[in-house]
Amino acid sequence: QVQLVESGGGSVQAGGSLRLSCAASAFTFNNYYMAWFRQAPGKEREGVATSYLGYDWTYFADSVKGRFTISRDNAKNTLFLQMNSLKPEDTGVYYCAAGAPPMSAIQRLSSKKYNYWGQGTQVTVSS
């Protein structure tokens, strides 16, 4: 059974940093797009960052470019999201997700293309 388990969320002040982790099991991690989504109260879930194969295949939402970094350890089936210079608008529940290729450029940050989801971890950024 596919499992994605996020950890690392918490509360920080604006300007702070957090590192999220997602441990994956029961599927061929290397072959999948692995992504982070987030959902703020009353808002739709939005794609934050996605990675495929390795560092050269990473994509970010404009709102987090230059502040967030996505990485993956394929040997350990683990996905990371390093979040720096956090802002109050980054607050939300962050989800790890896995989706099978191929994906077009638009689809890479679309929740519709991701089949497997974690339970989410809360990130709260105070001003």
The CA distance from 94 to 50, in Å, is 13
Residue 31 confidence class, pLDDT cut points 50, 70, 90: confident
Q: Which are the contacts of 74, defined by CB distance < 8 A and separation ≥ 6?
A: 29, 30, 54
Q: Which pLDDT tens digit goes with each residue over 42-51?
A: 999 999 999 9
Q: Which pLDDT tens digit goes with each residue over 48-70?
A: 999 987 556 888 999 999 999 99
Cβ atoms < 10 Å from Cβ of 64: 23
Average pLDDT over the chain, rounded to whole?
Answer: 93
What pLDDT sits at residue 54? 56
Mean pLDDT computed over 61-86: 94
